[in-house]
Amino acid sequence: MISLPLTLSLLALLFTYLIISHTSCYLRLAHIPGPPAAKITTLWLAYHQSTGSLARHLSCLSKRYGPLYRIAPDWVITSDPAAIRQVWSARGPWYRGEWYDMFRFDQPVRTILSERDNYRHAALKAKLLPGYSGKDVDNLHEVVDRRVGDFVRLIEREYLCDAEKGVYRPMDLAEKSQFMTQDVISELAIGQCFECLNNDRDTYGQMTEVTGSLPLIVTLAIIPWTLGLLQNPVVRALLPQEKLEGVMRQQELAKTQAAERYGEKKVVKRDMLGSFVKHGLEHTNAWLETFGQIGAGSDTTATAIRMTMFYLMSSPGSYQRLRDEIDTAIREGSVSDPITEKEAKRLPYLQAVMKEGMRLCPPVMGVLPRICDTEQIVCGFRIPPGTNVCWDAISIFRNKETFGADADVFRPERWLMVEDVEKRKNMEFVQGLVFGTSGRFECLGKAIALLELNKVFVEVSTPCGAKKSFVLADSTLSSS
Ligand code: HEM
């Protein structure tokens, strides 16, 4: 048995250690402003993350504390686009913080989303890039056309309203748009469409499971050791055993697909997985990348679709201008059925709507922390090694210097009326950050996402094979 004096000495030692470590942690960034609670504990950040409104809260605080402030003892956040350009630069010394371990969780190897080492990340990216860019893939455009077509048919079949007859069939646009992106990405990634649109439900329940568990995982990611703890077999055995059946099913599909592509009798196909194999991806990495793709590529693109439609629904002037552009293009015969990406890129207002929708509601609003092993200066502040530097997505995309005094407003015209070449270049650069563009971690799925966006707004606007105009606000899309 431990004696009382020894117990007291141990407690005193522990107490002294905690005081010293907390004080030194506090002092490291004492020169940086921020909410008082955030300076002494990571729980402040974890709490706000758990509420689901962290991004909005941080953007409000940036008005009080300025372009760079402290959000945890060793975390800061910046709303300055130039600082993000510096920290995310393709050749800079920064790399991903421990936060990214959440994308690994209990997987055997790191994927492109969880790889934190810059060299290993670059090597992995080189093997994935040709597949994502569509270079080695035969059916990219056909898959997207097919699933956008399913989306339009689902609306026509189940949700068309008739105001004259008083028939209103509300539709959850948020859900249906993710059905579409899931169907696209499942067919591209694992060669097997989940058929959410044709079934008009989350076929394997995987979408619901991920949406349900993500808030907890993102909160734990703020305190990385908790994720490590959850991976411990003893701790896991003590926790309630909740099976994510849909996610596991999806994992199995990915494994089965990958298994066919390796070994003596391997199947060779010109699809994304085939491209990964061709460029030397290991077997385990192949199924994990395939599995990860569905997570990375469905809710993100769905958010871009649902939010852009929401802004259009609440801005009749913009909606009318988009419809006019599409109707004119159809009348003049300058768009095919379905529209090709090339044709969509020639519709300037459509391009402006897409940019503006993602600018106002960036689909990725996670804090995306980067760290550096050497001291750096960011926004004029000294940043000691090991500090997590995050982005404040909302403030960056609503920066008034870049986008004008009405940066908070949905106004696609801002993209068509800039005469100053330098200003336009800067606007394009900052908006490009929605995909992490020009950085080392630029979104691999950008081309696929843009392909979907270029088609979906036009096709939804011209249901019944063309050319019957539709009324966005009170018939086809009656709810979001
Ligand atoms: C509008 C839709 C999308 C947006 C706004 C978006 C945004 C982003 C952003 C900001 C990153 C950088 C993350 C970081 O630095 O940590 C990223 C990375 C990534 N995205 Fe997307 N994404 C979208 C759609 C997609 C799609 C459809 C796919 C898959 C087909 C995808 C796959 C990926 C992958 C694999 C990465 C990791 C890239 C790397 O680490 O180098 N994304 N995305």
Residue 2 belongs to a domain: no
At 6 the pLDDT is 81
At 210 the pLDDT is 86
Q: How far is the CA of 292 from the centre of ligand 1 (A)?
A: 11
Residue 7 belongs to a domain: no
Residue 75 belongs to a domain: yes
3-state SS track over the chain: CCCHHHHHHHHHHHHHHHHHHHHHHHHHCCCCCCCHHHHHCCHHHHHHHHCCCHHHHHHHHHHHHCCEEEEECCEEEECCHHHHHHHCECCCCCEECHHHHHHCCCCCCCCCCCCCCHHHHHHHHHHHHHHHHCCCCCCHHHHHHHHHHHHHHHHHHHHCCECCCCECCCCCHHHHHHHHHHHHHHHHHHCCCCCHHHHCCCCCCHHHHHHHHHHHHHHHHHCHHHHHHHHCHHHHHHCCCCCCHHHHHHHHHHHHHHHHCCCCCCCCCCCHHHHHHHCCCCHHHHHHHHHHHHHHHHHHHHHHHHHHHHHHHCCHHHHHHHHHHHHHHHHCCCCCCCCCHHHHHCCHHHHHHHHHHHHHCCCCCCCCCEECCCCEEECCEEECCCCEEEECHHHHHCCHHHHCCCCCCCCHHHHCCCCCHHHHHHHHHHHHHHHCCCECCCCCCHHHHHHHHHHHHHHHHCCCCCCCCCCHHHHHCCCC
Q: How far is the CA of 182 from the centre of ligand 1 (A)?
A: 15
**Which residue's CA lies nearest to atom 39 of ligand 1?**
441
Residue 11 belongs to a domain: no
Q: Residue 313 is encoded by which pair of tokens?
A: 């629904």
**Which residue's CA lies nearest to atom 1 of ligand 1?**
301
Q: Determine the atom of ligand 1 nearest the C-alpha atom of 88.
A: 15
Q: How far is the CA of 448 from the centre of ligand 1 (A)?
A: 10
Q: Determine the atom of ligand 1 nearest the C-alpha atom of 449.
A: 27
Peptide linkage before 338 cis (omega within 30 of 0): yes
Q: How far is the CA of 364 from the centre of ligand 1 (A)?
A: 8
Q: Residue 419 is encoded by which pair of tokens?
A: 């005469």
Alpha-carbon torsion, ordered 326, 329, 334, 338, to 10 deg: 30
* Lowest model confidence (mean pLDDT) among 7-16, 17-26, 201-210, 352-361: 17-26
Kindly state the percentage of the chain with pLDDT values over 90.
Answer: 69
At 415 the pLDDT is 96
At 476 the pLDDT is 39
**Mean pLDDT over the full length of the chain:** 90
Q: Which tens digits make up the pLDDT trace of 391-419?
A: 999 999 999 999 999 999 999 999 998 88
At 439 the pLDDT is 79
Give the whole-angstrom CA distance, residue 74 versus residue 41: 9
At 470 the pLDDT is 40
Q: Which tens digits make up the pLDDT trace of 175-209?
A: 999 999 999 999 998 888 999 999 999 999 988 88
pLDDT grade, residue 464 (50/70/90)?
Answer: low
Q: How far is the CA of 88 from the centre of ligand 1 (A)?
A: 14
At 104 the pLDDT is 84
Q: How far is the CA of 244 from the centre of ligand 1 (A)?
A: 24
Q: How far is the CA of 109 from the centre of ligand 1 (A)?
A: 19
Does the pLDDT of residue 152 top 80, yes or no? Answer: yes
Q: Residue 293 is encoded by which pair of tokens?
A: 């793709």
**Which residue's CA lies nearest to atom 21 of ligand 1?**
443
Residue 8 belongs to a domain: no
CATH of the domain at 26: 1.10.630.10
**Which residue's CA lies nearest to atom 2 of ligand 1?**
301
At 243 the pLDDT is 74
**Which residue's CA lies nearest to atom 27 of ligand 1?**
297
pLDDT grade, residue 1 (50/70/90)?
Answer: low
Q: Determine the atom of ligand 1 nearest the C-alpha atom of 292.
A: 35
**Which residue's CA lies nearest to atom 23 of ligand 1?**
300
At 30 the pLDDT is 94
Average pLDDT over residues 115-129: 96
Sign of CA dihedral 311, 315, 320, 325: negative
Residue 441 belongs to a domain: yes
Binding site annotation covers 372?
Answer: no
pLDDT grade, residue 477 (50/70/90)?
Answer: very low
Q: Determine the atom of ligand 1 nearest the C-alpha atom of 433.
A: 10
Closest by CA to 178, choosing from 212, 204, 201, 152, is 201
**Which residue's CA lies nearest to atom 6 of ligand 1?**
435
Q: How many CA atoms lie within 13 A of 284 on its CB side?
A: 5
At 478 the pLDDT is 36
- Backbone φ, ψ for residue 80 (5° rounding): -95, 115
Average pLDDT over residues 320-325: 96
Average pLDDT over residues 236-264: 84
**Which residue's CA lies nearest to atom 19 of ligand 1?**
443
Q: How far is the CA of 35 from the centre of ligand 1 (A)?
A: 31
Give the whole-angstrom CA distance, residue 416 versus residue 295: 34
Which residues make Cβ contacts (< 8 Å) with residue 68, sequence separation at least 6?
Answer: 32, 76, 77, 78, 79, 80, 83, 378, 379, 381
Q: Residue 24 is encoded by which pair of tokens?
A: 């030194």
**Which residue's CA lies nearest to atom 16 of ligand 1?**
368
Q: How far is the CA of 437 from the centre of ligand 1 (A)?
A: 10
Q: Determine the atom of ligand 1 nearest the C-alpha atom of 132.
A: 30
Residue 116 belongs to a domain: yes
Compare 357 and 20 and report the one with higher pLDDT.
Answer: 357
Give the whole-angstrom CA distance, residue 429 versus residue 442: 13
At 463 the pLDDT is 55
Does the pLDDT of residue 64 top 90, yes or no? Answer: yes
Give the whole-angstrom CA distance, residue 456 versus residue 449: 11
Does the pLDDT of residue 300 top 50, yes or no? Answer: yes
Most ligand 1 atoms within 8 A of CB, residue of 443, 453, 457 to mutate? 443
Average pLDDT over residues 128-152: 93
- Backbone φ, ψ for residue 371 (5° rounding): -130, 165
**Which residue's CA lies nearest to atom 35 of ligand 1?**
444
Give the whole-angstrom CA distance, residue 234 versus residue 236: 5
Split into its structural domains, the chain has a count of: 1
At 465 the pLDDT is 47
Does the pLDDT of residue 471 top 50, yes or no? Answer: no
Which residues make Cβ contacts (< 8 Å) with residue 238, sequence separation at least 6?
Answer: none
Q: Determine the atom of ligand 1 nearest the C-alpha atom of 100.
A: 16
Buried b (16+ CB within 10 A) or exposed e, 45-65: bbebbbeeebbeebbebbeeb
Does the pLDDT of residue 218 top 50, yes or no? Answer: yes
Give the whole-angstrom CA distance, residue 206 versus residue 295: 10
Ligand 1: list residues with CB < 6 Å. 112-113, 125, 185, 293, 296-297, 300-301, 304, 363-364, 368, 434-436, 441, 443-445, 448-449
Residue 244 belongs to a domain: yes
Chain centroid offset of residue 75 CA: 21
Most ligand 1 atoms within 8 A of CB, residue of 133, 272, 300, 430 to mutate? 300
Give the whole-angstrom CA distance, residue 197 versus residue 182: 9
At 170 the pLDDT is 92
Q: How far is the CA of 66 from the centre of ligand 1 (A)?
A: 28
Q: What is the domain extent for residue 85? A: 20-476
